[in-house]
Structure 1
Amino acid sequence: MGFQQGLSGLGASAKSLDVIGNNVANANTVGFKGARAEFADIYASTFGSSSNIAGIGAKNQTIAQQFGQGNTTSTNNPLDIAITGNGFFRMQDPSGTVSYSRNGQFQLDKNGFIVNNAQLLTGWPVDTASGQVLAGSTAQPIQLQFANIGARATGGSGIVGTGLNLGLNLNANDKVKPASTPFSSTDPTTYHYSTSATVFDSLGAAHIQTFYFRKDVPPATPTVPPTSTWTVHYALDGKDVTADGQLGAQAAATISAATTAAA
């Protein structure tokens, strides 16, 4: 083996070690795609019969990127995004230069743009009515708009929502609680079921609202299918709510009318 052939092999091996070292160094880098060194023979001439041509070594032909699907992991950042399968995030730097990345570690900058380091995530504007991309539109940086809506109570008007909705199934075969046994949230024998939910007052403070369900006297006129009458009693932070909406004694009347549910 000539000196030139051996030297070319050492150079190609060194390049391969560079690629391997870079892969190892970036093993925990989000969105990183490993590479592979690919080699080729070197010939002094390509004329004549290949059986009579002696090679003069090897070289690194190319460094091929490996775009296989990596592992996805969960994080505590709601803006972190992972791509399953093919695809890239379209990024744009402040000067307008476009690039592509698989790194989905995003956050908001002070202006509300979704960014990955110094790159801005871009997207296409959509029609709010149809949800379709606007015809003729171009990709642009995604910016979230914020409005200072202040604290709102659960059920208050505005962006927060219209109230608290509960979906329940009550057993129509439960026996009616007699009128001689008044409701008391401290006595589980005076109601059938209870459940709790977190609600917020106008200052944004959290409270625990408890709902007590009690089966009362059935309707005077039977229905088909038959129905059962349930009274819902309320308590806030462990105190019963009175008929005028104030917190009162345990034996106070409830603020809600009886509701009916099909058996």
Structure 2
Amino acid sequence: MITSLWTASTGLTAQQVQIDIIANNLANVSTNGFKQARGIFADLLYQTLRQPGAQSSLTTQIPDGLQIGLGVTPVSTGRIFTQGSLQQTGNSLDMAIDGAGFFQVLLPDGTTAYTRDGSFQKDNQGQIVTANGYPLQPAITIAAQALTVTVAPDGVVSITLPNVTAPVQVGTIQVATFVNNGGLQSVGENLFLETASSGTATPNTPGTNGSGVVVQNYVEASNVNVAQELVLMIQTQRAYEANAKVVSTSDQMLARLTQL
């Protein structure tokens, strides 16, 4: 009876983790470049009462055995890096990646971070930065007197200047790809960091080596499917209630035993 109490308690914990993940997904349904997370769970150890394949007689074996599971545990939160829809903004510094890859930005400590959020702006030096002020890498500076900014699908950034007929190229955006996107570490602010699991970032010219192209005047929306999350939330709630019922039932059975 004690076993069922502890087993059900692991189920309660696992479903609470699942609800927390769903809540974060729904909270970020309007976050540019956000990638939906999902909970990954694994069963715990088993109490083996009869070993499968053990001898039941001189000539026979137990076919299945008797093993009682001890519950479940959360093991990871996987990211689903499917493409989000592209939303037009009309801002010439807004960019989306249509396909694989990440924009590269420089953090204050010198670390390179990676993002799918292409809602860029200019700082007081004319440098292209994120909404939180982190410079795009490689660095690109837009002259104060620039009349227009054009970003080609291959990442080439050009501006037009007064009294200059031809566009002036001021830099090229690179798109970083990884062997394992799921190994990236989420650090908030729509940023990811490279880890040993993700592999080393490979900078690419957009549209080459399997990387996506850059689309100007658009941002990538969150890939969270609200209807899917709501259905999963209902399923998780029912699973939580079922585990709570097991705890309650086990408690009642223990109480009855103590009265004997």
Q: Which structure is higher in RCO with an 8 Å CA cutoff and minimum separation 6?
A: 2
What TM-score, normalized to structure 1?
Answer: 0.48
The structure number with the bigger radius of gyration is 1
What TM-score, normalized to structure 2?
Answer: 0.48
Structure in which a larger fraction of residues adopt helix:
2
